[in-house]
Copies of this chain bind each other. A is one copy, B any other.
């Protein structure tokens, strides 16, 4: 009477046998039909009966059984360091889209860099749940990566190069920083500072290199004090900008290595009474919907993050697991000139 008596799996799962029985055929026929076996030719009437039975019973092949039998999961795993970061959101979207296109599942989990997470991750993904592993950015998954490599299962690092792993997809951070600096130089700036990312992170060092390279091309000097490391957060950008503005001769223009730190930097400038872009030009790498609604709207180099996610899954699927993958996404970068940069007004 009470529907709450109907607990758990009280409803017997419908199985391939049920379908076969209802359609009056052998399970092998059902199996081959449903898995799209090309070598199968069935009489049209049989095909129809099977399809009708499948629909009538709302049959769905059991995942665990299929996976066990074929010893593959038709799934990839993606480990991100943090769900609260639009860079990873973009990677996830791209990766999910590519996975869907090949009828693979994408299982995304976050792994903050605490030690017990490592073994949890290995337990979660190390047992046949996934056929290939994507590790994005600073996510900690060393144990899992070792395991996959040992077993000859494919691994790929996304947006970062992991020491000892010759398989990665990255963006052209070097070119992005160069393009940003060129924009500032073309506007007429000469005193240009840099709010960098975490000191030893792969993306930040490449952006820093690009910054140096473009400054050198332009024949511009870089006082040591003009380079400040932050941590890709609003707070980090805020502090970095403060230290820049406290200099006896502050920069006229700043490249922030990351959009959220740029937004934090804007806040510090506002607080110090420094007007952007009149007193200070600011440009950053990566776009964000909020960047357009900052005051003033932030000028930005938009990076092909979504494309990187897509490409990562495709490479993971299509490259033999022990081949090297050293790929820089070649989708063109895009300068989105908004209102935080202008010619120097001094």
Contact = CB atoms under 8 A, between A and B. Distances in A.
Interface of A: 3-11, 13, 58, 60-65, 67-68, 71, 73, 83-84, 86, 88-90, 92-93, 96, 100, 105-110, 120, 122-124, 126-129, 147, 150-153, 233-235, 237-238, 260, 263-264, 266-267, 270-271, 289-290, 292-295, 297, 320-323
B83 A152 contact: no
A77 to B, nearest CB: 10
Contact of A235 (B6, B120, B293): B293
A106, A128, A270: residue with the most chain B Cβ atoms closer than 10 Å: A128
B9 A152 contact: yes
Could you say how many copies of this chain the assembly holds?
2
A62 B266 contact: no
Given A62-B128, A105-B124, A126-B60, A68 B71 contact: no
Contacts of A124: 105
Contact of A128 (B63, B90, B110, B289): B63
A141 to B, nearest CB: 15
Nearest to A122: B60
27 contacts: A3-B322, A6-B321, A7-B322, A10-B152, A11-B151, A13-B128, A60-B122, A60-B127, A63-B127, A64-B65, A64-B128, A83-B89, A93-B110, A100-B120, A105-B129, A107-B107, A108-B108, A233-B289, A234-B289, A234-B290, A234-B293, A235-B292, A237-B293, A260-B289, A266-B295, A267-B295, A290-B290
Given A71-B13, A86-B84, A322 B93 contact: no
A321 B8 contact: yes
B105 A106 contact: no
B322 A4 contact: yes
Given A233-B289, A234-B289, A270-B295, A151 B4 contact: no
